Structures are given as structure tokens and as C-alpha cells.
Structure 1
Amino acid sequence: MTLSELMAEDARTLWATAQALSQSVALAAAPVSPRPLPPLLFFTDPERTPRPWETAARLPAGAGVVYRAFGAADAVETGLRLREATRAAGVLLLVGLDAALAEQVEADGVHLPERALSSAYALSGRRPDWLLTG
């Protein structure tokens, strides 16, 4: 087997495992959001993933991306490229902490760090269509 074939097999195994775990959790927990939680989330980082739209385009449909801009100067531009890639791939796009940026790039929701979880209730009232994670 080539390296590429091994990596593809590993990706299929990871996806199948993530789906099985997601289904197990769904059976045990009542839904708290109108949107289901993706079984696999890819978290970006401006330093480690400078072109996150490339990875997002290769994710399986049903996965999700948490775009963490960390105040980057090109946050809107990167977010819009991510939005384009995630829509084409059938992947959800969440923006880390920044609801204004999430609105600008037409994200599917927001991911809140632990320190900001107290804002979830107010945010869900303003945007009941969004998926909120923390």
C-alpha cells in the first residue's frame, strides 16, 4: 500500500469512529440545538493552519470547522474563503468566539471558549438558527 492509500484508509477509519461516537452520544443526550453537532470538528489556528480552506475542502460532508481567527488582520478574507470551501464540501462553519465575524462570513454558528460560555444564552436568543458549541 502506498502512503496515500494508508492515509486514506486512516481517514475512513477516523470518520467511521467519529460517526459511531456521535450516534452513541446522540442516543444518550437530549438535543439542545436545532442543528446536530458534527461528529468531527477541525479547529484552525492562524499559525498552524495558515490556509485552513484547503483542509476544509477535504473534510467529509457532515464534519465541521471551527475558525479561530485570534484577531488576525485577514480574518474576514480567510473566513469568506473558508465559508466558500465549507459550503462546497457540505461542512459546517463555526467561528470561535467572534459573533460579529460569524455574521460577516455567514457562518453556521459560534464556538465559545469556556471563559465565554455565559454569553451562550443571550447569543442563542439573538441567533436561534446558529449552532453554539463550547
Structure 2
Amino acid sequence: MSMLVTKLDHIWITLTLRLARPPATATPKVQLSTLPPEPVIPSKKPFKVELLGGKRYSWCTCGYSKKQPFCDGAHKLKAQGLSPLRFVPETDSTAWLCGCKYTNNPPYCDGTHKQDFIISATLHKETES
């Protein structure tokens, strides 16, 4: 009798596990991207700004902000996957913040805007919606 119970238990467990998994055809096919979107170029020149020491700033990394060079949250709709770069300067200072969004020293300009790929790129213009 114990052998029969064991076989029935095994069959019940097997059927339960098979039914618990949805069929492979029911799984939606979704393409996931692991790369963030490319930023647009709002300016081919840096922005000269006065920064206050100890104040937290959010530098726009996507290029869609209407408050360049700072973030206004536009990335949430237009460039999901990009987030602003938050930074706190140590002292009050004048700084040149990158306008092309391709600097290798974010948020500060490093002259990347002088390279051919930026010079020949189309400047992003906000369209009225």
C-alpha cells in the first residue's frame, strides 16, 4: 500500500508542477535593452554658471531639459534610462558646464564639443506639443 501512495504522490506532484507553469507560447516576447538612450545635443558650447559651494545641483545628462544645463525632469518621459548627475561644489565658483552632453569629465566641459562628431551633429530644438 505504501508503494501505491508513493506513486500517486509522485504523479500528483508532477501534474501540479506541470500545470503551475504557463506554456511557453503564453510568455510574451519582450526585447530588453541594457544600453541607455543617447543624449541629444542642446548646445555646442558650454554653459557659464555661478555655483554656490555646498549647494546640490542636478546637471542634465539627456539634453532634453528646458533649463539647461540643469535638469527639469524631461528625461522621465523623453530619455528613460538617463538620470541627472547630482553634484555639490565645495566652494562658490564660476564653472563651465558641458552643453553637448558628451564630456569625459561630467558635468564640466572638457572641450569635446570641438570634435567633428559634435560639430557635424544636428542641434536639438524643442518642438511645441
TM-score where L is the length of structure 2: 0.22
TM-score using structure 1 length: 0.21
If each structure's helix is expressed as a fraction of its own residues, which one has the higher value?
1
Q: Relative contact order (alpha carbons < 8 A, sep ≥ 6): 1 or 2 greater?
A: 2
Instruction: Decide which structure has the larger Cα Rg and report it.
Output: 2
